[in-house]
């Protein structure tokens, strides 16, 4: 009987795998349609400093499907990563963000609100990446300091010389770099020392339980201390409660992003958020 159950298990497993592959192909196909039909939208989540000022915002993509509604990037970014569509997706997002920054450039309320864009490793490692960024910066007349990139630690598994070279070029172009999801990846302190970074983003996984978990508290404390000594700014993501914010403040982290302040907002809502802040 065990044998029988085992057989069924394998069959079930194969069936699931088959389904998963079919689903993946379906999403890939529909994602290409989404690119054609302009269904990729950019939402913006404000970043707030201890003194209540808006210091920036993160651009986060959403798929606005005509039937299924808004689809979270968690559902399609991993598929886009493995299919290579992340390159097209990243290009669409960057183009839109540059367009928005351009539109905001005459509005004084947006003057000190740089926009951070998530850049995937595949996109960053493209030989023509820097050139394509340069092109957009020219096309939309993006002022230095108004555009930032968020990179993840997995980038440092690539040809480090190439990576550092590109980061320096971006810096020269006025694009500062944040290290996203810090602490969850492969970083070693050696990298921090040698990379032209301006900011560490403390991952939400360390923030969630910071009020109760001594380990999380210690990790964030150490991160902020290291960042301070290397003259890097820190920002905590996923701040949902006043309690979390207070703990972060005590530790010395003074810029926050999270639902406590605002969820990521659709373009028009973000614009009125800034106008009325």
Residues of the shown chain interacting with ligand C2E in the complex, contacts defined by CB under 6 A: 45, 60-61, 72-74, 77, 90, 93, 118, 120, 150, 180-181, 204, 237-240, 257-259, 264
Binding-site member from 181, 202, 223, 251 for Mg ion (CB under 5 A): 181
CA distance 39 to 204: 28
240 contact choice in ligand C2E, Mg ion, none (CB below 5 to 8 Å, kind-dependent): ligand C2E
Question: In terms of CB distance, is 177 or 194 closer to ligand C2E?
Answer: 177
150 near Mg ion, rule: CB under 5 A: yes
271 near Mg ion, rule: CB under 5 A: no
The C-alpha R_g of the chain, in whole angstroms, comes to: 21
Region of 24-32, 45-53, 77-85, 230-238 interacting with Mg ion (CB under 5 A):
230-238
118 near Mg ion, rule: CB under 5 A: yes
Tokens 């379906």 identify what position? 26
CA distance 189 to 144: 28
114 contact choice in Mg ion, ligand C2E, none (CB below 5 to 8 Å, kind-dependent): none
Q: How far apart are the first and last CA of the chain?
A: 67
244 near Mg ion, rule: CB under 5 A: no
CB of 142 to Mg ion, least distance (A): 19
Q: Which residue is nearest to ligand C2E (CB)?
A: 258
Which ranges in the chain belong to alpha helices (H)? 2-36, 73-83, 86-104, 121-125, 129-139, 160-172, 189-194, 204-207, 214-229, 242-251, 267-275
Q: If you write DSSP's letter for every residue of 154-219 in order, what string do you get?
A: GGGGS-HHHHHHHHHHHHHTT-EEEEEEETSS---HHHHHHS---EEEEPHHHHTTTTT-HHHHHH
Region of 131-139, 155-163, 177-185, 188-196 interacting with Mg ion (CB under 5 A):
177-185
Contacts with Mg ion, residue ranges (CB under 5 A): 118, 150, 180-181, 237
């Amino acid at each position: 009987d065990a044998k029988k159950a085992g057989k069924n298990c394998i069959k079930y497993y194969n069936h699931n795998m088959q389904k998963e592959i079919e689903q993946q192909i379906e999403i890939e196909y529909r994602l290409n349609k989404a690119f054609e039909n302009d269904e990729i939208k950019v939402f913006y989540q404000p970043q707030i400093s201890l003194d209540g000022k808006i210091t920036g915002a993160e651009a986060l993509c959403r798929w606005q499907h005509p039937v299924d509604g808004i689809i979270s990037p968690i559902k399609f970014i991993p598929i886009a990563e493995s299919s290579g569509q992340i390159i097209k997706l990243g290009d669409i997002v960057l183009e839109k963000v540059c367009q928005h920054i351009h539109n905001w450039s005459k509005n004084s309320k947006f003057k000190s609100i740089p926009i951070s864009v998530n850049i995937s490793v595949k996109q960053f490692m493209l030989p023509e990446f820097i050139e394509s960024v340069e092109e957009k910066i020219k096309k939309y007349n993006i002022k230095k300091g108004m555009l930032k990139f968020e990179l993840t630690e997995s980038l440092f598994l690539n040809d480090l010389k190439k990576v550092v070279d590109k980061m320096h070029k971006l810096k020269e172009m006025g694009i500062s770099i944040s290290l996203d999801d810090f602490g969850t990846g492969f970083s070693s302190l050696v990298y921090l020392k040698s990379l032209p970074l301006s900011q560490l983003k403390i991952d939400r996984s360390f923030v969630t339980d910071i009020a109760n978990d001594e380990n999380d508290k210690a990790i964030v404390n150490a991160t902020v201390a290291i960042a301070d000594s290397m003259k890097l700014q820190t920002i905590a993501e996923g701040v949902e409660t006043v309690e979390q914010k207070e703990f972060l403040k005590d530790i010395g982290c003074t810029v926050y992003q999270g639902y406590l302040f605002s969820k990521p907002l659709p373009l028009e809502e973000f614009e009125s958020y800034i106008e009325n802040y």
